[in-house]
Amino acid sequence: MRDIQNRLFEEIRDRSIFDLSEHYGLEYLATVFDRNVFPDGEALSNLALFDEKLPLEFTPSKEILAKLHHCGSPATVAQVGGRYFGFVNGSVVPAGLAARLLGDFWDQNTAMQVISPIAAKLECIVEEWLRELFGLPDETVAGFVSGTSMATFSGLAAARYRVLQRKGWDVGEKGLFGAPKVRVVAGTHAHSTVHKAIALLGFGRENVEWVESDDQGRIVPEKVPPLDDGTILILQAGNVNSGSFDNFDILCDKARAANAWVHIDGAFGLWAGAVEALKHLTRGMEKADSWSVDAHKTLNTPYDNGIVLCRDREALVSALHMSGAYIVLGKDRDGMFTTPEMSRRARIVELWATLKCLGRRGLGEMVLGMHERAAQFAAELRARNFEVCNEVCFNQVLVHYENSDLTREILRKVQDLRVCWCGSSKWDGRDVIRISVCSWATTPEDVRLSVDSFVKARELALGEAEDKRTGRTELLSKD
């Protein structure tokens, strides 16, 4: 037997490397809720320890795990904890993390039922659960993809297929050259991944009819141009800055009357539709044709985990499968028919486990908790004289202080203090600090600590500004 095969058999029989990875993982979890949210300078400079040429010889897995633990873990961002408010990134529900670890042992390929009956089964179950949670039509199908980028791409591919098929044009066979025109209508606040999908699908961003948005980033319904059956209308549940929602009720009715296709990008916001107390935000969303949503954001599954939902099964399958609509007729669920990928890992395992663990009630409590912590953030920051620039309808808070320079400086200090982590954005032409509460683990105390850190950061920034000013005064007095 070859040397490498012997060594690999040895490692798999001697289970200690798996014990070791569990041991390191648990050590990580034990500290991640209390530690600095962002790695310190030492941890970052230690990343240089990974610099090496691809080794020629075998390295024992124990050594590899030790290196990851000692040099890698300290340079992670504590996203799992409760004080990471950057971008719109979720934590992990323990059941999802644990189920993923188990699923990793299985290493299933979910392309077809015959390759993984368990993955196919769980995909069927979760598809049904999602229809029920979001109140979507019975015929809605799901594709389990890597994230909302892929989900939006897939939903818009289905839209492109259907809109052109209605005009007697099979886009899969004939392509876009010489095709009847497809109109794409979207809000000026559409997420950058919508722009990307538009480019990938050959629509061309220049050809999009961009619709004016209001002060919260919502499409103004009266500004939507007349729609027709050759149009794809792209809406948004959860503006990535303000967290706002388009008015689906009015906009979907308009689209339906014209037989246009509606896609909703609901990366993090669609989950509001699964929560009794927040449902008003997504009213009418069930009248769309396709939806994209992330599990790895609001639902707090591990990365990468996104879902495309589509009420037109034939369009989705025809768009994503190489050979025509008739393939739908197979009785089994073959996951690859509703995703761009053929081979995929079984991300459904952690998605199923997370939903099963939380249940409808737990999910509602968790998501409502995110909204409540965001509202707390806004109230406490206002009480400390920060300006909150958006209506905090969901989990996003945009913060400004006096001017853009000072706001940027305060953010830099907040990041240096490492008590919490937030990113920046632009809102209404001004620099803002963007807070996204997206972790099940965020407590009222986490918010208080973070607000204290904002206040400290402002003192530091103002102190430095004052030093600069007096420094300049001294210089001036010398003249």
Task: List residues binding ligand PLP (CB under 6 A).
Answer: 88, 147-149, 191, 193, 238, 240, 265, 267-268, 294, 306
Of the candidates 312, 307, 335, 310, the residue with the CA atom closest to the CA atom of residue 325 = 312
Q: How far is the CB of 198 from ligand PLP (least distance, A)?
A: 13
Q: How far is the CB of 186 from ligand PLP (least distance, A)?
A: 12
Of the candidates 378, 380, 376, the residue with the CA atom closest to the CA atom of residue 388 = 378
Q: How many helices (H) and strands (E) does the chain have?
A: 14, 11
The residue of the chain with the least Cβ separation from ligand PLP equals 147
Q: How far is the CB of 335 from ligand PLP (least distance, A)?
A: 18
Q: How far is the CB of 225 from ligand PLP (least distance, A)?
A: 23
Of the pair 122, 237, the CB lying nearest ligand PLP is at: 237
Radius of gyration for the chain, computed over Cα atoms and rounded to the nearest angstrom: 25
Of the pair 86, 369, the CB lying nearest ligand PLP is at: 86
**If DSSP codes are grouped into helix, strand and coil, which group holds residue 144?**
strand
Of the pair 310, 457, the CB lying nearest ligand PLP is at: 310
Of the pair 166, 195, the CB lying nearest ligand PLP is at: 195
Q: What is the largest CA-CA distance in the chain?
A: 88
Q: How far is the CB of 351 from ligand PLP (least distance, A)?
A: 13
Of the pair 81, 147, the CB lying nearest ligand PLP is at: 147
Sign of dihedral through CA atoms 94, 348, 342, 178?
negative
Of the pair 195, 448, the CB lying nearest ligand PLP is at: 195
Of the pair 116, 292, the CB lying nearest ligand PLP is at: 292
Q: How far is the CB of 191 from ligand PLP (least distance, A)?
A: 3
Of the pair 243, 335, the CB lying nearest ligand PLP is at: 243
Residue 254 CA to residue 257 CA, distance in Å, equals: 5
Q: Do residues 83 and 450 make contact, with C-beta atoms less than 8 angstroms apart? A: yes
**If DSSP codes are grouped into helix, strand and coil, which group holds residue 393?**
coil
Sign of dihedral through CA atoms 374, 380, 382, 386?
negative
CB-based burial, 425-464: b 16+ in 10 Å, e otherwise: bebeeebbbbbbbbbbbbeeebbeebbebbeebbebbeee
Q: How far is the CB of 149 from ligand PLP (least distance, A)?
A: 3
Q: How far is the CB of 308 from ligand PLP (least distance, A)?
A: 11
Residue 472 CA to residue 159 CA, distance in Å, equals: 61
Q: Do residues 347 and 304 make contact, with C-beta atoms less than 8 angstroms apart? A: yes
Contact partners, residue 159, CB within 8 Å, separation at least 6: 232, 261, 263, 289, 290, 315
Of the pair 74, 243, the CB lying nearest ligand PLP is at: 243
**If DSSP codes are grouped into helix, strand and coil, which group holds residue 430?**
strand
Residue 161 CA to residue 316 CA, distance in Å, equals: 8
Of the pair 147, 187, the CB lying nearest ligand PLP is at: 147
- For 407, the token pair is 């706001």
Sign of dihedral through CA atoms 336, 341, 342, 345?
negative
Of the pair 82, 269, the CB lying nearest ligand PLP is at: 269
Q: CA 36 → CA 78, 326, 451, distances in Å?
A: 7, 55, 16
